[in-house]
């Protein structure tokens, strides 16, 4: 049975999702992935807004489901997940 990928856009830009101590994406790696694939960090930040707070002791990590939603919006134009509804 094939394992389901919950974060296909993160995988597409080559960004790892860490599972411990809680699921998160490292901001440094996200920025590298955005640069590597020609996506705008400024546009990502504009779409990301303040929809979530940092996780893992507040040192620049964010929830992968929030990042995935912004990437989906940037790459397909479709609102999904946390981009679809206001918190």
pLDDT tens by residue, 10-27: 999 999 999 888 888 999
DSSP class of 79: -
Identify the band that residue 37 occupies on the pLDDT scale cut at 50, 70 and 90: very high
Q: Looking at residue 10, what is its pLDDT? A: 97
Across the chain, mean pLDDT equals 83
Comparing 34 with 6, the larger pLDDT belongs to 34
List the beta strands (DSSP E) in 45-85.
61-62
Tokens for 44?
A: 């990502």
With a CB cutoff of 8 Å and minimum separation 6, the contacts of 43 are: 74
Task: Return d(Cα 85, Cα 44) in angstroms, integer.
Answer: 17
Q: Looking at residue 57, what is its pLDDT? A: 60
With a CB cutoff of 8 Å and minimum separation 6, the contacts of 81 are: 65, 66, 68, 69, 72
């Amino acid at each position: 049975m094939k394992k389901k990928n919950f974060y296909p856009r993160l995988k597409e830009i080559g960004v790892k999702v860490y599972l411990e101590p809680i699921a998160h994406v490292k901001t440094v790696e996200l920025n590298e992935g955005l640069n590597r694939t020609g996506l705008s960090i400024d546009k990502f930040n504009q779409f990301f807004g303040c929809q979530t707070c940092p996780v893992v002791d507040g040192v620049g990590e964010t929830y992968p489901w929030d990042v995935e939603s912004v990437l989906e919006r940037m790459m397909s134009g479709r609102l999904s997940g946390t981009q679809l509804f206001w918190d």
